[in-house]
Chains A and B, each alone.
Chain A
Amino acid sequence: MSDEMTLYLQVWRQKDSKSKGGFQNYKVENVSGDMSFLEMLDMLNENLAREGKDPIQYDHDCREGICGACSCMINGEAHGPGKKTTTCEMHMRHFNDGDAIIIEPWRAKAFPVLKDLAVDRSAYDKIIMAGGFIEVKYGNAPEANSMMVGKEVADFAMDNAACIGCGACAAACPNASAMLFTAAKTTQLSLLPQGKVESKKRVQSMIKKMDELGFGNCTNERLCEAACPKGISIISIARMNREYMGTLLKSDY
C-alpha cells in the first residue's frame, strides 16, 4: 500500500464498570486507507498482545454494518465522521496522515461502561421486552397474503425495521434519549395491520420502560438522526409522540 498513515490515538481505557477510566495515548503506524476503523484497532491490539499488554476491548461482530455491535465515539461523533455508517464500515481513508483521533465509549447512564470501549446496552433489549413485538403465538399465524399493506406503508415500516440497535442515537443525543430507537420499533409495528391491534399498549409500555431506564427526554436536537447508521428519521419520533398523545385522548372502543 502506498498511502500509509501514522495516527495518534487517544483511547478511553477502563478496567471494569467499577473502576475509574482515563485516556491513553497510542501511536499506530502503517495504516492503509482501505482498512476499516476496527482493522486499525485490531492492528493496535495485535501489537499490544504481542507486548503482553491488555488489548483494548471494543464490541464488534459482523463487521458489515448490520449486527449493531460496534460502538465507538470517534472525535465526538458516534460511529465516526461518515454518514449512515457504523464504526466497522468506517474506512481509514476518511482520515489523514498525522491525525489525532479520540476514541470514547458510548456514554449514558443507561449504558454503563463494562470495559474500555464496550458498554452494556441491555437497556435496549429491555425496551423491546416492554412491547417491541407482536403477540402472536407460534402456530396461530394467518395466511401471509391475507393481509394487504400498501407499498409505501410497507416501505416506511421497513425503513424503521432497519434499526440495528447499536445505540448510536442515544449515544449521540445530548440528552442520552432513546427516542429514535423506541420510535423506530413502535412505528414499524403499528404501521402494519398485524401490529396495530396492540399499538396503544405497546407505545405506552415501551415509553414507560425507556424513561425508567434512565434515558433522557427528547428535545428535538436531531443528532440521533444524523448519527443513525441506517438513516432512520425523526419523523418516526413525531409519529410515536402522536401515537402516545393519542392514548390520552382516544379509546380503542
Chain B
Amino acid sequence: MSSLKLDSKVPQGDIKTLWEDYKFNAKLVNPSNKRKFTVIVVGSGLAGASSAATLSELGYNVLNFCIQDSPRRAHSIAAQGGINAATNYQGDGDSVWRLFYDTVKGGDYRAREANVYRLAEVSNNIIDQCVAQGVPFARDYGGLYSMRSFGGAQVSRTFYARGQTGQQLLLGAYSAMEKEVAKGGVKQFTRREMVDLVVVDGKARGIIVRNIITGEIERYAADAVLLGTGGYGNVFFLSTNAMTSNGSAAWKAYKRGAAFANPCYVQIHPTCIPVHGELQSKLTLMSESLRNDGRIWVPKSATETRKATDIPEEERDYYLERKYPAFGNLVPRDVASRNAKNMTDEDKGVGETKLAVYLDFKDAIERLGRDVIEARYGNLFEMYESITDENPYETPMRIYPAIHYTMGGVWVDYNLQSTIPGLFVLGEANFSDHGANRLGASALMQGVADGYFVIPYTLGNYLGSEKLDKVSIDHEAFNTVEKEVQARFDKFMNIKGTKTVDHFHKQLGKLMWEYVGMARTEEGLKKALVEIPKVREQFWKDLKIPGDSKDLNIELEKANRVADFFEIGELMARDALNRAESAGGHFRLESQTEEGEAKRNDEQYCNVSAWEYTGDNQEPVLHVEELTFPNVPLTQRSYK
C-alpha cells in the first residue's frame, strides 16, 4: 500500500573521504544558470538564514520566509552556551575523529555515522566562516580564541560568546542574509507563516503561507523548498522554545508525503529555572555551561526544611559527583535530567514547589573569586535573579529539567533531502546527526553546517541532475492546496465553541509531560494514545476564536499550530511505544540497567523509525532505516 522507500544515499567508501568524494561527484549548476533557479527557504534561524545567504551568494534566487517581524528574532538567538569545533586550538587531544566519535556515542548510537562524520569534518570551517562575519567569540589576553569544555565533553572544544553564542552566530548569518537582501538575491518575507507545502508531480514546488498581518493566504512557487523551521518542543506547552516555535511546517511536509523520523527523541535540558505557577507561559533555560563550575546537590533528608545555605556539607548529597565520579556534574543532559527527576521523585526536591535541585557556586566562587565567575556567567546570574528575585552569588540556584530540543524531525537522506524530492530539511527540523540525544553546543554546529556547508552542494546536485519544468503559482496544485488551507481556517472560525486555544494546549502539554515525558512506560504511552485524541476531539468541537480570519488574529494563528501539535504529540507517543528500549532522550522504564541507566536494545532497535502519513484517522505506517556502526563500535554508554 505504500510506495515510500527510505534510501539514505550514503556514498560507499571510507568515512573519512566520503564527503570529499561526494563533493567531487556532485552535479554542478553552471554559474550563469543558477539565477534561473528559485529556492524557497522557510525559517530564518541558523539553518534558514545561513542557507539563504549562502545560496544567494552562489547566485540562486532565494525567497526567505519568517514568522517574526524580523529574521533576526528566530529562536536560534536564544542558544546560550556555545558551538563545538574540532580545531584542537587548546592542544588537549581533540580531532575531527574525536568529535565524530563523541557525537555518535553521545547520540546513543541512533544517528547515521556518515552524517555525523561530515558534521565533525566541517565544524572547523564553521568557526572560520563565523569569525570572518564578525562573530566576537571569547578571546584570551594573548588575542587568540578561548574555548571551554561543555556538557559531556572531555576536551575544551566549545567556542562561545559570553552566554549569547546563539545570538552572535544568528546575527552573523542574519547580517549575511541582509547583505544579500540588499543586493536583491534574497527576497525577505516577514510575518509569514507557512501553512502548507505544494507538491507537483511528486516534487516539492512551492508553499502556501498566511500573512500574519493581513490574514491573506499567499502562494509562492520555486524549484526547491528548504525547511529550517526548528523543532516541535512546544507540544509540551511549557518548554524553553519561543512562543511562536512550532512544528507545523514539518508536519505539513509529513502530511504531503515526507517521512517523519524518531519523533520520540526529545531532549530535556537539566538546567532550567523551575516552574512558578499555573499561568507560566514558558520556561527559561540557563546555559548548561553553568555545570562547569556549579555543583548540583539536594539535601540528604527528604524532610529538610532549612535554607540552602544553612544545610551543612555533610547533609548534602552531591548525587552526580557521587554516582558518576569520572564526569561528575558534566554528565550528558539526559543523565543529568533524569537524575534530577529521580531526586524529586524521592521527595528530595527543593524550593516552594519541591520540583527543583540546587546548583551551587559557593566552591567555585571561593576557588576562582567572584570576578571570574561573574565574567563567565554574569549575564546568566542576572537573568536568574531577575526572574526569581534570588541572588545566585549568595544562595544556590534552583534548577529543574525542561523540554528543550527535539532530535526527531523530518527524515532526510545524506543530501538532507526528505522523501519528497526537492524538499530539503535543515537544522533542528530534520532528524539527522544527533541520534537519540544531542550533545551540548552541537545544535548550533548542526544548523550552521547544514546551511553553510552541506546544502550548497547537495541542492546543486539536485538542481543539476533533475529536469524541472516551470511551475507557476497558477498551477492547479496551488489552487487545490490553497482551497484546503482556506477550508481549514474557515473550520477554526466556525467552531464557535467556548474555550480558548491555550486551554487545550495546556491540557495536551500535561498529557505529554505525564506520559511522554522524561520516563515513559508501555501503559502510560497506551493511555496517551487514548487521551490525546479525546482532547483533540474536544478542541475541534469547543474551540473559540474571536475576530476575523482576514485580519491579524493571534488566536487563529495559535489554533493552527496547536491543531498540529495534537497530531505530533500522538505520533510521538506512538513512536515511543514502538521503541521498547531506552536510548538517549527516550527513556522507557521497562528498559534500564540495574543502576537505573538507559538500556539500549541494539538487536531490535539499532535503527531509525520513520513514519509515513496515510490519512487522517488512519494509523501511520512505520518504515525502518537500519543503522550500522563500523567506525564507532557499539557500547553501552557509561559515565561512571
Interface string of B463-498 (1 = CB under 8 A from A): 000000000000000000000000000000000001
**Cβ contacts under 8 Å, A142 to chain B:** 128, 132
Binds A, one of B50-58, B293-301, B393-401: B50-58
Instruction: Report if A62 contacts B (CB, 8 A).
Output: yes
Query: How far does the alpha carbon of A63 sit from the alpha carbon of B238 in the complex, in Å?
Result: 12
For chain B, residues 371 to 404, give those with C-beta under 8 angstroms from any C-beta of chain A: 382-383, 386-387, 389
Asked whether B570 is an interface residue with its Cβ less than 8 Å from the other chain, the reply is: no
Indicate whether A192 sits within 8 Å of B138 (C-beta atoms), given known contacts A49-B500, A61-B242, A144-B145.
no
A202 to B211, CA, bound (A): 33
Q: 1/0 per residue A39-60: CB within 8 Å of B?
A: 1001101101110111101011
Segment 121-155 of B: residues with Cβ below 8 Å from A: 125, 127-129, 131-145
Chain A residue, CB-CB nearest to B145:
A145
Contact with A along B47-79 (1 / 0, CB 8 A): 000000110011000000000111111110110
B281 touches A55 (CB 8 A): no
A162 and chain B: residue at smallest CB distance? B164
Contact digits for A161-194, partner B, Cβ 8 Å, 1 yes 0 no: 1101100000000000000000000001100101
Of B176, B182, B279, which contacts A130 at CB under 8 A?
B182
For residue A35, CB closer than 8 A to chain B, the reply is yes
A66's partner among B145, B164, B175, B280 (CB-CB below 8 A) is B164
- The residue in chain A whose Cβ has the minimal distance to the Cβ of B70 is A125
Interface bits B145-170 vs A (CB < 8 Å: 1, else 0): 10000000000000001101001100
Which residues of A sit under 8 angstroms from B279, Cβ to Cβ? 32, 35, 39, 42-43
Q: Kindly list chain B residues whose C-beta atoms are within 8 Å of the C-beta of A133.
A: 133-134, 175-176, 178-179
Q: Which of A106-136 contact B (CB under 8 A)?
A: 114-115, 118, 120-122, 124-125, 128-130, 132-136
Question: Nearest B residue to A209 by beta-carbon distance?
Answer: B182
Let me know if B109 is at the binding interface, CB within 8 A. Answer: no
**Which of chain B's residues has its CB closest to A85's CB?**
B386
A129–B176 CA distance with the chains assembled, in angstroms: 9
Residues of A near B78 (CB, < 8 A) are 62, 64, 66-67
Q: How far is the CB of B533 from chain A (nearest CB, A)?
A: 24
Chain A positions 62 through 100: 1 when the CB is less than 8 Å from some CB of chain B, otherwise 0: 111111110000000000001011000101010000000
Q: Which of B134, B139, B389 contacts A189 (CB 8 A)?
A: B134
B residues 270-329 near A (Cβ < 8 Å) are: 276-277, 279-282, 284-285
Choice from B77, B89, B387, B546 contacting A67 with Cβ under 8 Å: B77
B: contact size bracket: 35 or more
Chain B residues whose C-beta falls within 8 Å of the C-beta of A158 in the assembled complex: 136, 138, 161-162, 168
Any A CB within 8 A of the CB of B502: yes
Distance of A1 Cα from B129 Cα, bound (Å): 50
Judging by beta carbons under 8 Å apart, are A61 and B139 in contact?
no
The complex places the Cα of A151 from the Cα of B139 at a distance, in Å, of: 6
B167 x A164 contact (CB < 8 A):
yes
Is B452 an interface residue when CB atoms closer than 8 A count as contact? Answer: yes
Q: Is the CB of B182 within 8 A of A129?
A: yes
For residue B474, give the distance in angstroms from its CB to the closest CB of chain A.
29
Bound Cα distance from A143 to B178, whole angstroms: 24
User: For the complex, is A36 an interface residue (Cβ under 8 Å from B)?
Assistant: yes
How long is the Cα–Cα vector from A91 to B383 in the complex, in angstroms?
11
Check if B552 sits within 8 Å of A57, measured CB to CB. yes
- A38: contacting residue among B58, B134, B242, B281, CB under 8 A: B281
| Beta-carbon contact of A67 and B75 below 8 Å | yes
B105 interfacial contact with A, CB 8 Å: no
Nearest-CB distance from A42 to chain B (Å)?
6
Asked whether, in the complex, the Cβ of A49 is within 8 Å of the Cβ of B389, the reply is: no
Which residues from chain A contact B140 at a C-beta distance below 8 Å?
A: 151
Contacting residue for A194 out of B74, B132, B145, B555, CB 8 A: B132
Interface residues of B in 552-579 (CB under 8 A from A): 552, 554-555
Instruction: Tell me which residues across on chain A come within 8 A of B54, comparing CB atoms.
Output: 138
CB within 8 Å of A: which B162-210 residues: 162, 164, 167-168, 171, 174-176, 178-179, 181-182, 188, 190
> B417 within 8 Å of A by Cβ?
no
Q: What is the bound-complex CA distance between A214 and B139, given in angstroms?
A: 38
Determine the chain B residues whose CB is within 8 A of the CB of A93 once the complex forms. Answer: 389
- The chain B residue sitting closest to A134, CB to CB, is B134
Contact of B70 among A84, A85, A122, A149 (CB under 8 A): A122
Q: How far is the CA of A129 from the CA of B430 in the complex (A)?
A: 30
A190 to B171, CA, bound (A): 16
Kindly list chain A residues whose C-beta atoms are within 8 Å of the C-beta of B387.
36, 89, 91
B524 interface residue (CB < 8 Å to A): no
The answer to whether A249 has its CB under 8 Å from any CB of chain B is no
Known: A16-B552, A34-B389, A120-B69. 8 other contacts (CB 8 A): A39-B280, A39-B281, A82-B386, A122-B190, A132-B175, A133-B134, A138-B57, A145-B87
User: What are 7 of the A-B contact pairs (CB < 8 Å)?
Assistant: A49-B545, A62-B75, A64-B240, A66-B77, A69-B68, A125-B178, A144-B137
Chain A residues near B (Cβ < 8 Å)? 1, 16, 32, 34-36, 38-39, 42-43, 45-46, 48-50, 52-55, 57, 59-69, 82, 84-85, 89, 91, 93, 114-115, 118, 120-122, 124-125, 128-130, 132-138, 140-145, 147-151, 154, 157-158, 161-162, 164-165, 188-189, 192, 194-195
| Chain B residues within 8 Å of A, Cβ to Cβ | 53-54, 57-58, 68-75, 77-78, 87, 89, 125, 127-129, 131-145, 161-162, 164, 167-168, 171, 174-176, 178-179, 181-182, 188, 190, 213, 240, 242-244, 276-277, 279-282, 284-285, 382-383, 386-387, 389, 452, 456, 498-502, 544-547, 552, 554-555
